[in-house]
Each structure stands twice: as C-alpha cells, then as structure tokens.
Structure 1
C-alpha cells in the first residue's frame, strides 16, 4: 500500500474550520444538544442510556442500532447492515474489499475526494463519470455506457451530490443500477444527504433496496446533523460481502463507541422529527442565500441545489475564485471552499466554483460579514 495523498478538503478544514468566524461552507445540517436528543428517546432507549456501561461493542454494531437502520430500508433487516465509525471508514473498507489491481471502477466527478482517491489506490484503472454543469450537473447515460469495461467492478455515485447539490434524474439512476445488476457490478451509492431534498418527489430509492448488487452508504453526520456521533453504515443484501468488510474493520476502529450507538438509535427512531426540522432550516437558509446572490449578481452565478445542504456557486470576478476565497477567510473570517479542493485526477472540474453551505443556524451573520467584505 502506497501513501495516500493529502485529503485536500480536510487539510483545508484543519487550518480554517475552527478558526474562521463564519463557517459558510459546512456540509452538515444543524446539530442538536444532548438534552434535546435525549428528550426524543422512547422508554427502551432511555433505559439503555441510563444503564450504559463503557465496554467494547460488537464490530457489526449493536442489534438495536442495526435494527433501527434496517427499518429505513424496504425489504432489509439488521443482518443486511454493517456499521462504521462514520462514512469515511465505510468508504475505506468498502473500496479496499471491492477492488483489486485487476479491476476497473467508475466514479462520478465532482466528488468527495476519498471516493476517487481510494478507487485510484485500489483499482487498476478508474474512469470519471462527469456531472455536467451545462445540464444542471446531471450524468449522461451514454457516457456511462461508454465508460464500462469487461472488468468494471464498482460504480460509485453520490446523490444528492457533494458539492453540487444535484439529484440525478430517476430514470438515469435506475438505468445505471439496472446495468450494474445485469453485469454483476457493485453499485456503491453514497446517500448521506438523502432526506434533504427540496422536493420529496426528487428523492431517489436507496440502492440496497432495489439493486441486488447495490451498497447504500449513509451516516448520522449530514442530513441528521449529528457528526459528533461518528456513526455510519453500509446496507447491502450481499451478507458475505458485508462479512468481508467487517473483517477489514478489525484493523481500523474495531467497534463503535457504545454511547454513540445508543444516541444514534434514538435519532433514527426520531428521524421524521430531525429531518423535517433540517429540511425547513435548509429551505429558509436557501431563500436568504438566493437573495444574497441575486443582490450580487455581478459577482456570482447561482443555481439552487435540489438536495443536501451544500451548493456549488460560480464566481465571476476577475481575481479568480481562489484569491477571492482566500481574501474572504483571511480578511472577513468567512469560510468557503474554492474549486481547487474539488480537483479530480479523472476529469476537469470548473475552476471558477466554490462550495457554500446552508444547513446550519447563523447564516444571517455570515452573509452580513460577506456582504460587508464586498462593499469595501
């Protein structure tokens, strides 16, 4: 195994996330306090919390947690779920297990870097599937078919997408899944923003539900707004594959934190409450953000995302997006993510974009500081 390259986005966050005064590019929804979350607990979960001991947990995850996760998938049960210490560990385990140097993978671009970097590390070859800005960041089905090879083993897609906020058209998504199933290709679907769509009619089915070769990735961090729990999972009907990933997890986290498992179970059983609240917050913040961009149409071009809590805005200034984002954080304390952090080794990514987030409270103060910077 060779050394992995720097994770550009996380390295940038390491420098600025907790130093910048206005975090305007967060990729998670607003979190809740312990008291607020525990108030949502039923009697069984409250008793588990109060009687909790701090020993090791099961590598697969606790039975109540896996049962709560499986309840969110039609036709699956707890045996079809493997939990991880966040989505990042799940991506790492899955691609290490699924790919070898004899294999080919397809990964959507732009993307969350680890999905691409680990595919490049594990597979013999990787092809990017472009999300086209000119078509609302949609993938092209003919391009997908052209990218397929006899040794394609994994297709990794992310919808609602980070950083663009696009949701794939249902017919395209279904067609890709059907081709994967027909050819025995693992369809690795990153669904961490599912539940934050602007229109429920856009919500895609979960890959593990309808695709025999589908793997559904999800986490408590994004749509639920609970990243501090560090609980993610993969749902999949291939239990032998899950078992292989569980063996790989023995070399990583081994097991989850037991307090986090109880709290995640509470949150999942109160999913409607949390997701309804976060969708409303995103809707309200998007209205504020849209008004801000409209007021500064000479500087920015903005397409409202279809899902998730991030979007990929275009900067029109002559100084370039990298200089603009650097000046914003250094001089005004406003943190955005410039396009360079989403560079791909597979395909070009537009260099005039930046990621902005709208899932958290406090957006008005950030927009005021941002606007003040522009007015100087």
Structure 2
C-alpha cells in the first residue's frame, strides 16, 4: 500500500533513534485527520496508553485533583491516580449515559482535568454531540483539561453518525488520544499519539515520554504512515470483520434469551451483553476458559476504587477473524452446559 515516498523511506531504513516527537511526515498525516491542529500539535508515542500516561504526567501534580468517568481501562485510570487524588463518575447503569451534572458536582477547586473514554470500553457506548458540548461547557467554565481516549472511534457501528467529534477539535483545552491498535487492527506497530493545541503541554508530555519509550520504532513510523494514508481500505476490512462477528454474536445471544440480555454496545470491536445466569458472570467466564479454552471478560475486570462498576456483563471480542470460530465454540459450550 506504500506510495513512492513511503517505499523510498523503507528501502533506506536505518535503525537509529528518530525524532522523539514522531517523524514530521507522520505527525502531518495524523494532524490531517483533525480540523483545528497542525503537525506541531501532535506527539507520537509507543501506543495510545503511553500517550495517556505522558499527558497525565504533563498536566498533574500531587496537589491536583482529577475526575475519571467510569468504567475505563485501568492503566489509564492509574496513570491519573498514581499522580493525584481523583473522583470517579460512573455511567448510568440503565443506559450507559453520562450525567454531566454529576461530573460538574465532582469538581473541586484544585481539579485539573477530566478523563473520559468515548467510544467507551467496555460498554461500547458513544457520547452524543449534545452531551459532549455540555461537558465542554463545564470544562471551559472551570478551566479544565478534557482528555478523551478515542481509540475505538473507527469501530463505531455507524460512522455516518459517529457520536463524538475529536475533543481537540471541539475544545481549546481538549486532548485527543488515538492510535492504530483498535480500528486499524495494527496493535503490533505500537503507534499511538496525543493531539493537543497547547505547545507547553506537549513539551511537558515529551519530557514525560523521555523516561518511557524515548521514541517510536523507525520501521513502525513508516508502516504507520502507510496505514494512515490507506485508512479507508484498512478500516473497511476490520469493520467488515466486526460486522460479520456482531451478527454472529447476536444470533447466538438470541438463542439463549434466558442467559443473555440484549447487547447495546454500538461498536464493531466487541459486544457487552448482560449475563443472566444464576452463577454470575465471573463464574461463567472462568468455566468458559477452563472447559472450552475461550476467553470473555467479565465486567468485574473493570472494577475501580473510584466507584462501582456492573458485575453482570461479559465483554466478547469481535475484531478478529478467529472470533467467528470462537463464537461457534461459545454457542456449543452454552448449549451443552444448559442441557446438562
């Protein structure tokens, strides 16, 4: 998929250190996915999680306070709680919606940032534009940074109605985190990024990065640039895999209405149905691993000291071709176990 300049870089590839911010041509390609930024507003990292950690390190001091919307990927939460005090604001369990008033009520005089993850994992819900604008209004009123992990943006079921514009385009103190691991299906490249309009913050994030990865792999930079240029082709493939597996999952769930509730996740990357069995989601997931060699993630894995998370759901991956075979084995396991 490489164009002439990509091929020239590949043929002349050297394995020395590269620009710790990311190659200018790679940052230009990332900036081109946004409306309000330039290449100078991009910091490339070894995966999106490193980008979260670097941004947290750039913004937070021990005397600060942060608000974290739950559930969220624990290392992202810990990137914040390892630096300062934090308050958790759980999504509504009934419909997984964010209560912006509850977020506002959690703000303290020393609150510095709000950390969110939309489209959300593990619930699979998005954030509608009205709620995003209300959240931005709260952040602007109190002068807060809004950091959003947007790695599942390319995996939403309906891209034409994508729920959240990148926060960096929506708010002058918004910071968008993204990467190639999810929607692009390229986690092995280990390329993620933070996009921020404030140069001083990126400079501090770069300082935090210096004690972590130093720089992205030179080979990964080239391949990442090819992937970004080929985004429609690559994401079309991953999305079709997700669509097929999502239909497959829903047919399996429909066969066992006594054991599984409706899957409301609006993502092609995973499902998140409620488990209705009397043994509970944890026990079901453990039996599935032990007896069938299949792994689903009970929602208790997203537990947090900052607030309660539901314990009766299972997160089922849909993003890989192998998941189709896994869903067949999943259905067989459930059918045999229920019959027994």
TM-score over 0.5 for the pair: yes
Equivalent residue for 2:129?
170
The CA RMSD measured in Å over matched residues stands at: 1.3
Counterpart-to-counterpart distance in 2, 1:205 and 1:104: 26
Please state how far the C-alpha of 1:268 moved relative to its aligned partner. Answer: 0.4
Counterpart-to-counterpart distance in 2, 1:158 and 1:346: 15
Does the residue aligned with 1:149 lie in a helix, a strand or coil?
coil
Equivalent residue for 1:128?
88
Equivalent residue for 1:48?
9
Q: Is the 8 A contact 1:109 1:349 kept in 2?
A: yes
Match of 2:287 among 327, 337, 344: 327
Please state how far the C-alpha of 1:308 moved relative to its aligned partner. Answer: 5.1
Q: How do 1:59-208 residues align onto structure 2 when only pairs under 5 Å count? A: 59-123=20-84, 125-135=85-95, 137-199=96-158, 200-208=160-168
Please state how far the C-alpha of 1:121 moved relative to its aligned partner. Answer: 1.5
Deviation digits for residues 55-113 of structure 1 (CA, Å, limit 9, x no counterpart): 11111011111111111111211100001111121111111221112211111111100
1:247 correspondence with 2:207: yes
**The 10-residue stretch of structure 1 (240-249 or 296-305) with the greater mean CA deviation from structure 2:** 296-305
Q: Is the 8 A contact 2:58 2:204 kept in 1?
A: yes
**Which ranges of structure 2 fall in alignment gaps of 5 or more residues?**
none
Q: Is the 8 A contact 2:54 2:209 kept in 1?
A: yes
Q: Is the 8 A contact 1:195 1:203 kept in 2?
A: no
Match of 1:367 among 327, 333, 338: 327
**The 10-residue stretch of structure 1 (359-368 or 321-330) with the greater mean CA deviation from structure 2:** 359-368
Deviation digits for residues 238-278 of structure 1 (CA, Å, limit 9, x no counterpart): 01100111111111111110000000000001111112222
How many residue pairs align between the two structures?
Answer: 335
Equivalent residue for 1:230?
190
TM-score, with length taken from structure 2: 0.95
Moved over 4 A (4+): none
Q: Is the 8 A contact 2:10 2:222 kept in 1?
A: yes
Equivalent residue for 1:336?
296
Counterpart-to-counterpart distance in 2, 1:61 and 1:367: 39
Counterpart-to-counterpart distance in 1, 2:132 and 2:182: 21
Does the residue aligned with 2:126 lie in a helix, a strand or coil?
coil
Counterpart-to-counterpart distance in 2, 1:89 and 1:308: 24
Please state how far the C-alpha of 1:194 moved relative to its aligned partner. Answer: 0.9
Please state how far the C-alpha of 1:351 moved relative to its aligned partner. Answer: 1.2
Equivalent residue for 2:260?
300
Q: How do 1:263-302 residues align onto structure 2 when only pairs under 5 Å count? A: 263-302=223-262
Q: Is the 8 A contact 1:69 1:81 kept in 2?
A: yes
Q: Is the 8 A contact 1:216 1:234 kept in 2?
A: yes
Equivalent residue for 1:5?
none
Counterpart-to-counterpart distance in 2, 1:114 and 1:364: 29
Please state how far the C-alpha of 1:178 moved relative to its aligned partner. Answer: 2.4
Q: Is the 8 A contact 1:160 1:197 kept in 2?
A: yes
TM-score, with length taken from structure 1: 0.86
Counterpart-to-counterpart distance in 2, 1:232 and 1:66: 11
Structure 1 residues 374 and 308: CA distance shift in structure 2, 3 A: closer
Counterpart-to-counterpart distance in 1, 2:330 and 2:100: 39
